[in-house]
Structure 1
């Protein structure tokens, strides 16, 4: 009972962190987006649709959390700009976006370009939601959670083994301390490398699975990442120095931190789906 309560609490905490609010109340997901979400569940062959719940999320692209086959289920957050269409931009212009303390003027050149980058076709919307659904289907949150304890256990075992091999188990405290610090540092680096590698693998797997649902989903995936790159380039210009620190000229998030690659490059993910689309059209 206690474990189940903690699982439900963690999922609903995620919802509180990402929930979109309007007029002091949590925003409700529109009927159209609820229908799109159900279509995606059907297209991705979800066995138990009751395990997936959608809500209106803040931000510019979908988010997700939870493990579908556990009692708490999973949540998929869909942002308000997904309620916009080429003909009607209400899902975007009805919301205030503040950058560097200044509200975005949707009628300015930058505002018009940003509005265009935040407007997705139905195919792109379905792909973006589908990649979150298949990410959850694959048990990706569980895989990410396992990385830390596995690396910690491996580091501890290696530390014990090295001290036994070098005869430091009963040796001077100073040497044992140096050995422990060295092993801990190596274990931390190993954890970062493993975490980034698992993130990269799971991101690409979710993109691949969502894109292979159909040609329309693959086309939507190409559009989705094209527009994310366009949006990031616009934000880079609007945010000034902060934007140049956060976004590369290509529109990727700056992924490299010393030996780490914290984010799977959007350009790579787009190219992956372009290749999948070519195969589906062949």
Structure 2
């Protein structure tokens, strides 16, 4: 029964290759962008900060901070960007600014001040089912790693804004359908060139599987490369706003690395599997890095600062 169904499906795809490819690529693109097309129903719902069973609104100070960043970044359509208070330890973002749903930036609770009573020291943080003791040596170190200066907060928010403003979500989402189409078209062209369409079905199946694996591997490599390029571009644009932003960027990534090293120690074996001794995240799979190394992102901004200082000296 299953073989018969697969045979019919293969026959249908063979007869309607163009329509099947267009539908598959469109569906894949929409699936990849769904997180950004509906940011309220996805990003905000997933990352919203809650306490005592209720969502917490963004404080007035953080609202002002967000608007200051939009102004410094020169965002023309500031009304298309909205902020909310997010859980976690650093900003998140989603959305496409020119769509009706706009863009959302989640500002973490640890960006709040102690006076807001939403800062990290006012909340329970559990690691390995144990509450972090903020008065312990590790607690003090973690508290310091989670407390950012105003410049670091501005950089962290601005790099999310720059990421969205550059249409990075669309570029990143387009990689998958492009490689799907490229793999499909290349496979068809090679089979026609080698005359495999007149060969036994088993040979064509083996060829398709091998070619699909090659395409899958190439997609992961390209996806990693594109993700890193987009992250670096957002960092460069945020650091280029001013020297204060650039210095804030160095502090931001330094503290992320410090936080990860502390978590690596506190979490034991699980932490050693998640975090490298440097503070970078270990690859999420054999085929991809998944996360752009924080050390390289920090070094990029350090180089920008050094180049700026050298130019000033030469002048």
1:48 paired with 2:77, answer: yes
Residue 217 of structure 1, aligned match among 225, 231, 245: 245
Give the Cα–Cα distance (whole angstroms) in 2 for the partners of residues 159 and 95 of structure 1.
55
Please report how far the alpha carbon of residue 279 of structure 1 lies from its aligned counterpart in structure 2 after TM superposition: 2.0
CA-atom RMSD, angstroms? 1.7
Structure 2 counterpart of 1:107: 135
Q: Name the stretch that deviates more: 9-18 or 183-192.
A: 9-18
Please report how far the alpha carbon of residue 261 of structure 1 lies from its aligned counterpart in structure 2 after TM superposition: 2.3
Residue 141 of structure 1, aligned match among 138, 146, 169: 169
Equivalent pair of 1:114/1:234 in contact (CA under 8 Å): yes
Q: After the TM superposition, which residues 1-282 of structure 1 pair with which residues of structure 2 at under 5 Å, given as runs?
A: 9-84=38-113, 91-255=119-283, 257-282=285-310
Please report how far the alpha carbon of residue 134 of structure 1 lies from its aligned counterpart in structure 2 after TM superposition: 0.2
Give the Cα–Cα distance (whole angstroms) in 2 for the partners of residues 88 and 115 of structure 1.
16
Count of equivalent residues:
277
Which SS does the other structure have where 1:260 is aligned?
coil
TM-score by length of 2: 0.84
Structure with a larger share of its residues in helix: 2
Which SS does the other structure have where 2:197 is aligned?
coil
Give the Cα–Cα distance (whole angstroms) in 2 for the partners of residues 43 and 131 of structure 1.
12
Please report how far the alpha carbon of residue 255 of structure 1 lies from its aligned counterpart in structure 2 after TM superposition: 3.0
Task: String of CA shifts for 1:141-173, please: whole Å, max 9, x gaps.
Answer: 111111111110011001101111111112110
Give the Cα–Cα distance (whole angstroms) in 2 for the partners of residues 36 and 243 of structure 1.
33
Equivalent pair of 2:110/2:119 in contact (CA under 8 Å): yes
TM-score by length of 1: 0.94
Task: String of CA shifts for 1:164-215, please: whole Å, max 9, x gaps.
Answer: 1111112110110111001100010011011101000000000000001000
Give the Cα–Cα distance (whole angstroms) in 2 for the partners of residues 89 and 231 of structure 1.
22
Give the Cα–Cα distance (whole angstroms) in 2 for the partners of residues 118 and 195 of structure 1.
30
Which SS does the other structure have where 2:82 is aligned?
strand
Structure 1 unaligned runs (5+)? Answer: none
Give the Cα–Cα distance (whole angstroms) in 2 for the partners of residues 164 and 124 of structure 1.
56
Q: Greater Rg, structure 1 or structure 2?
A: 2
Give the Cα–Cα distance (whole angstroms) in 2 for the partners of residues 277 and 88 of structure 1.
33
Which SS does the other structure have where 1:274 is aligned?
helix
